Amino acid sequence: MRGIRTQYVLAYAVIGSIGPFLPIYLSREQGLSDPQIGFVVGLSGFAIIVAPIFLTRFADLGVPTRRLLAGSFAIGGAALWGMSHSTGFALVALLFGLHSLAYQPIMSVQDGLFFQGRAAGLSGDTPFHRVRVWGTVGFIIPSLALYFLVERAGSTQAIIVAAVLACALGVANTWRLPPITGVAATSPVGRPVATRAAIRALMAKRIRWFVLAMLLANISNGLWFTFYPLWLTDSVGIGEEWAGIVFNVGVVVEIGWMLAFGALLGLVGFRRLVVLGMAAQVVRLLLLAFVPTVGIALGTQLVHGLVIVTVAVAPQIYLDRRASDEFRASMQGVYATAVLGGGRMTGSLLAGQLAGYGDIALFGTGALLALLSAILLLTTESAMPAERPESRE
């Protein structure tokens, strides 16, 4: 289990290195326009659509998960290093797309690794959110260090060095992971078409409306994520080096939300918790749209963790409870493809087109989508049960 925890730390350290600064880097260091920034950031969503379903399928078929993770870290780090030595929209987009194709599947594969390990009895009754919280810790570490590096250098080039270092450590850590292979390889029914089974399960009556609501939620979050760093520097007027610190206000508070996740589920149930997260997203985005101040930048980060557990933790647990062993990993991969990837890509591309019309158009659209997601969850009985899960979740 220690190896899996470290895996989450290093995987999210890559995001913590580039995530808070990427739009700034693309604008300042590479000279890209708003639509081009939206396109490049959206490639990470496209990668989620294309790659995870195949990699998690490999896991289901018996390919050692740690080999998949090692290859993803190695290729992703090499592509980032190449991007830092390149210029021009086409080449930057190509290399960042390669990085995203290699790196983004790590999230769904390691989620599948955890759930498979727990099903095999390797982690006892450890709840998912208590392992996922180590990803939050991993996000914080590089962002704090980069404050000093970016301030001293006067540019955001250092973010690439930090991300490549995290990728290298990620390769090394894969040797500490348990040698788990996909359960489908030893299934008594042979090798079922796990991906098709996962798609059928996601389209079932009691799940499909939940999937649509989460798609809207992820589009909304993509609109926020793509231009929030540039909103901090251009609309609020803070220095580039502060972007990571402001992000980390939300990330530090996110730890509390993660640790309280099980208690919140037990108190209000799945559906009400997700609706609460969407309500927080609506309020946050409306404040960003109409009140671009330092106080709002910091204050709205207090609910960032609630939004994250809504879109990145609760759905995985909900779906795992409805997956069979034959397609457990593939169900996470199909969901990541359709909802996380489709939502992020659509949100980023839409953000690139809306950014030129101002903050109200950009963040107001995101607020509307979050509101529609909440309404769908509240008014569609089959969207998500109001049940309270077992305490271990």
**Which amino acid, one-letter code, is at 264?**
L
Q: State the Cα torsion 72-177-197-58 to the nearest 10°.
A: 40
What CATH number should be reported for the domain whose range is 2-181+190-379? 1.20.1250.20
**Rounded CA separation 108/50 (Å):** 13
Give the 3-state DSSP-derived string for 132-178, with helices as H, strands as E and coil as C: HHHHHHHHHHHHHHHHHHHHHHCCCCHHHHHHHHHHHHHHHHHHHCC
CA 208, chain centre distance (Å): 21
User: CA separation (Å) from 347 to 53, 163, 362?
Assistant: 21, 24, 10
Residue type, 245: I
- The answer to whether 312 and 320 are in contact (CB under 8 A) is no
Through-space distance between the first and last CA atoms of the chain, rounded to whole angstroms: 17
Q: How far apart are CA 270 and CA 386, in angstroms?
A: 6
Sequence ranges of the domains in the chain: 2-181+190-379
Residue 200 has pLDDT above 80, yes or no: no
C-alpha 57 chain-centroid distance = 20
* Predicted confidence (pLDDT) per residue in 108-160, tens digit: 777 777 777 777 666 566 777 777 778 888 888 888 889 888 888 888 999 99
Q: What is the DSSP string of 58-103?
A: HHHTT--HHHHHHHHHHHHHHHHHHHHT--SHHHHHHHHHHHHHHH
Tens digit of pLDDT for each residue in 267-314? 888 888 999 999 999 999 999 999 999 999 999 999 998 998 888 888
pLDDT score at 183: 35
* Span 307-328, average pLDDT: 79
pLDDT at 66: 77
Per-residue pLDDT tens for 206-250?
Answer: 788 888 999 999 999 999 999 999 999 999 999 998 998 998 898
Q: Which two tokens stand for residue 239?
A: 């220095």
